Structure 1
């Protein structure tokens, strides 16, 4: 271990972990023709109360910039995975939602994602995972 503080080492190790997890998941989701970022966008859209979200809400949920969301969503919209819907509360903004094809794709990709997640984390017990989730939620 280097002379870095415990906190610095924690941040470094978690950054490495996040990168490794994302690469593994990207590889698994590629059979569905989507990336992990696209899957996360689909996950949050599917989980939204009204199944729609503003682009800025998606950006905050996924952890990328609003312009990043636009760059990811544009091809998804072009191939029919997501649709744009007018916002009744604010005509200047549009909402994003999964199309019917997007819902089917998300359902299929979710099975692969779940299998991949279980495979990657099989060495940890349920209690360990719950504790890790709890602790990371405090950050």
Structure 2
């Protein structure tokens, strides 16, 4: 039997867990969005004035600039987010959370919280802290 690098095996397991989580969060489809859409709405809802530069949003979610643009197009078409140009710099554009996007986020958050509690049952903060610290060290810095 081939022995694999423990760090590589850990990352393979992390990838599997991510796939399982994504599959479980498919239940957000009842709101017409996926898990990544939910994350975008969350980040915008948390930001100042409910808007972010596209490049900052891409960085926060872990995507490229073109990747975030592809994700935002359907959300723009259904009115969850809107584009806003920067008056001073034409190269910069903002993503703005619309009132419809805010309402959908509030509705979907209840579903997402229920799913999260099913995936990670109520644990004592001491038990979840090492996992949170590991994910943060790997770049999981969504607050």
TM-score, normalization: structure 1?
0.91
Q: SS at the partner of 1:91?
A: coil
Pairwise mapping of residues 1-139 of structure 1 onto structure 2 (< 5 A)?
Answer: 3-25=3-25, 27-122=26-121, 124-139=123-138
Q: For residues 9 and 70 of structure 1, do their structure 2 counterparts lie closer, same or farther at Cα, with a shift above 3 Å needed?
A: same
1-structure distance, mates of 2:98, 2:42: 13
CA-CA distance at 1:121 after TM superposition: 0.7
2-structure distance, mates of 1:115, 1:2: 40
For structure 2, the residue ranges without an aligned partner over 5 or more in a row are 139-143
Q: For residues 53 and 123 of structure 1, do their structure 2 counterparts lie closer, same or farther at Cα, with a shift above 3 Å needed?
A: closer
In the comparison of the two structures, how many residue pairs are matched? 138
Q: SS at the partner of 1:84?
A: strand
Q: SS at the partner of 1:50?
A: helix
- Root mean square deviation of aligned Cα: 1.7
Cα shift readout 1:54-101 (whole Å, capped 9, x = no counterpart): 111111111122111111111111111101112234233221111000
Q: Which residue of 1 aligns with 2:141?
A: none
CA-CA distance at 1:49 after TM superposition: 2.2
2-structure distance, mates of 1:77, 1:45: 13
Deviating above 4 A after TM superposition, structure 1's stretches of 4 or more consecutive aligned residues are: none
1-structure distance, mates of 2:39, 2:74: 15
